[in-house]
Chains A and B, each alone.
Chain A
Amino acid sequence: MHLAHLRLRDFRNYPRLDVDFAPGFHLLLGDNAQGKTNILEAIYLIATLRSFRGVGGAQMVRHGQKGYFVGSHIIGQGEHDTKMYWSVRERSLSLDGRPVRKLTDYLGVLRTVVFCTEDLLLVKGPGRGRRRFLDLLLTQTYPGYLPLLQRYTRALRSRNALLKQAAADPRALEGFSRELVSAGQEITRLRRELVPRLSPLARLAYRRISNDAEELRIEYAPSVRQDFAVELAQSQPRERTCRMTVIGPHRDEVQLLLKDRSAAEFGSEGQKRTLAIALKMAQAEYLTGIHGSPPVLLIDDVMGELDAKRRGGLLPLLERAHHAHGQVFMTATEENWPRELAGQVQRWTVKAGALERG
């Protein structure tokens, strides 16, 4: 699968951009603040409809303009055109010329895995980021997951609204509890199946790129131990004091352990950074395994931060993507790009919101 054409209008610092990309390795070189990361952000947006920088639509509209447009031509099993427009007043998304009605019809047209500095939050930040990591992976591999998650979220928010009321009808609360439980149990089950498949992939990736011999293990720590319905009922006294739903998949944790100890608490900075990359490598490997073709890899700066040994560990993944007619986009400044790739890269120069070959 690869992104064959990218079209931007008033996106970040790009007034207009039309560019064709072949499969393979693309190196986006340029000084700071020229628009390298913005390109990766646009590609990730096509794939997930979100920014990996965690911002909303307004920040991506070029300053002083009304809305942005991001369009693409994607070649995979079939060929697809995507078009997205966003402004405060109007949003539209179309696939092959038709408006997208259900997100499940759209997601999966382009699959990406991004490596960026924000990944460090996966290790250091709150559980929300790790849950979102699992959710994204399940969304990319299991068609029913997104609707399930939306149902769960809707039931959770409804339930929390009822718990905030002074005298909510207990039968109404029970109605939403049932919805919460049925969607929640399915989410827990899918996450529980995913983590043990991911863990060995991450361990392997970690071993490949790290300088230490400590073993990485990922463990799923679900908020619900056995029976959601029973445990939800038991949590009622706490619910009444907190006035919200205190157990369920929205409180799940994913533990990242180095030699059986929490990496967030005991790991060194270098270990945490390596671990974040290993998680993303595991994500890419997992997607490749399921879909039979590698996702488009978006690598923002990270290579520059790594020493030669750890960079070497990443190379096989990149080469595999290369051989399978996949695609890799990597940003770097002139000083820090990985020269070991020199033979196979297609070089682009990014300067003040424009892209040039060579």
Chain B
Amino acid sequence: MPALPDTVAALIGALNKLPGIGPRSAERIALHLVQAEPAAVENLARAILEARRRVQLCAVCGALTEASPCALCSDPRRDAGLVCVVERATDILSLEKSATYRGKYHVLGGKISPLNGVEPEDLRIAELERRLEAEPIREVIIALGTDVEGDATSFYLARRLARPRLKVTRIAHGLPAGSGLEFADEITLSRALEGRREIE
């Protein structure tokens, strides 16, 4: 087979870096794109650029948003006394799908992981502490995965956030052991939220 043009090879290389796209899919997509209608490809390219240009992290909670503060943070119907702490911005989507939670969110951006060089300072904990000063928060609900790092981080947060008249709870009950939120279905998630417990 004659070698692929350099630009196609470069495109395959770039696609292959995307999550969930292996070398074969990358090749298939690239070959499709270089043979498709130019207008369709331009639309796709524009959509990618536009999305990337507009989407940012909410300065308050860390969610993906086009306007900061995000719609969740500025929605007056949501209970400002409740903040649910999640690992990644995408975890918010899982929890929103379960449609039982009516409070606000805070994205940590990871979990403490000495084996991967992630320390508390690398997470958005100081931001959360600032919110505790500024907002009328009564309860922080920690919704991290139940693997070793998730558990250790939850404990750490409970200690660090402890202050008078603040409840720190943890959802865990019913979540698949040792996993993150992405594996939990909606019913499991809403049960887990209802069954949250205070961390001693």
| Cβ B151 vs Cβ A179 within 8 A | yes
Minimum C-beta distance from A164 to chain B (A): 9
| Cβ A179 vs Cβ B148 within 8 A | yes
Q: Which residues of B contact A (CB under 8 A)?
A: 112-115, 119-120, 147-149, 151-156, 159-160, 177-178
Contact partner, B119, options A151, A154, A172, A174, Cβ 8 Å: A172
| Cβ B153 vs Cβ A147 within 8 A | no
A-B contact pairs, 17 of them (CB 8 A): A151-B147, A154-B115, A154-B147, A158-B113, A158-B114, A158-B115, A159-B114, A168-B114, A169-B120, A169-B156, A171-B155, A172-B119, A172-B120, A172-B156, A175-B155, A175-B156, A179-B152
| Cβ B156 vs Cβ A162 within 8 A | no
The CA of A116 and the CA of B115, in the complex, are separated in Å by 36
**With A151-B178, A158-B114, A161-B114 in contact, do A176 and B148 touch (Cβ < 8 Å)?**
yes
| Cβ A171 vs Cβ B178 within 8 A | no
| Cβ B114 vs Cβ A169 within 8 A | no
- A5 within 8 Å of B (CB atoms): no
- A238 within 8 Å of B (CB atoms): no
Among A154, A165, A175, A176, the one with the most B-chain Cβ atoms within 10 Å of its Cβ is A175
- A178 within 8 Å of B (CB atoms): yes
Name the residue on B nearest A175 (C-beta): B152
**Additional 9 contacts, C-beta under 8 A, given A154-B149, A175-B159:** A147-B178, A158-B148, A158-B149, A168-B114, A171-B160, A172-B156, A174-B155, A176-B148, A176-B152
B149 partner residues in chain A, CB cutoff 8 A: 154, 158
| Cβ B148 vs Cβ A169 within 8 A | no
B177 partner residues in chain A, CB cutoff 8 A: 147
The CA of A17 and the CA of B160, in the complex, are separated in Å by 60
A178 partner residues in chain B, CB cutoff 8 A: 151-152, 155
The CA of A162 and the CA of B160, in the complex, are separated in Å by 18
The CA of A155 and the CA of B114, in the complex, are separated in Å by 10
Minimum C-beta distance from B117 to chain A (A): 9
Name the residue on B nearest A152 (C-beta): B148
Chain A: residues with Cβ within 8 Å of the partner, total of 19
**With A151-B178, A154-B148, A158-B148 in contact, do A175 and B153 touch (Cβ < 8 Å)?**
yes
Contact partner, B114, options A147, A151, A174, A176, Cβ 8 Å: A176
- A311 within 8 Å of B (CB atoms): no
The CA of A18 and the CA of B112, in the complex, are separated in Å by 49
Which A132-157 residues have C-beta < 8 A from chain B? 147, 151, 154-155, 157
Name the residue on A nearest B156 (C-beta): A175
The CA of A174 and the CA of B157, in the complex, are separated in Å by 12
Minimum C-beta distance from B119 to chain A (A): 7
The CA of A228 and the CA of B93, in the complex, are separated in Å by 40
Name the residue on B nearest A164 (C-beta): B114
The CA of A132 and the CA of B149, in the complex, are separated in Å by 25
The CA of A175 and the CA of B159, in the complex, are separated in Å by 9
Contact partner, A172, options B112, B147, B151, Cβ 8 Å: B112
Minimum C-beta distance from A180 to chain B (A): 9
Minimum C-beta distance from A173 to chain B (A): 9
The CA of A17 and the CA of B19, in the complex, are separated in Å by 37
Q: Return the 6 tightest CB-CB contacts between A and B, nearest first.
A: A175-B152, A161-B114, A175-B155, A154-B148, A175-B156, A158-B114
B113 partner residues in chain A, CB cutoff 8 A: 158
The CA of A168 and the CA of B152, in the complex, are separated in Å by 14
Minimum C-beta distance from A115 to chain B (A): 35
The CA of A159 and the CA of B148, in the complex, are separated in Å by 11
| Cβ B120 vs Cβ A158 within 8 A | no
Contact partner, A169, options B119, B151, B178, Cβ 8 Å: B119
| Cβ B152 vs Cβ A172 within 8 A | yes
| Cβ A157 vs Cβ B153 within 8 A | no
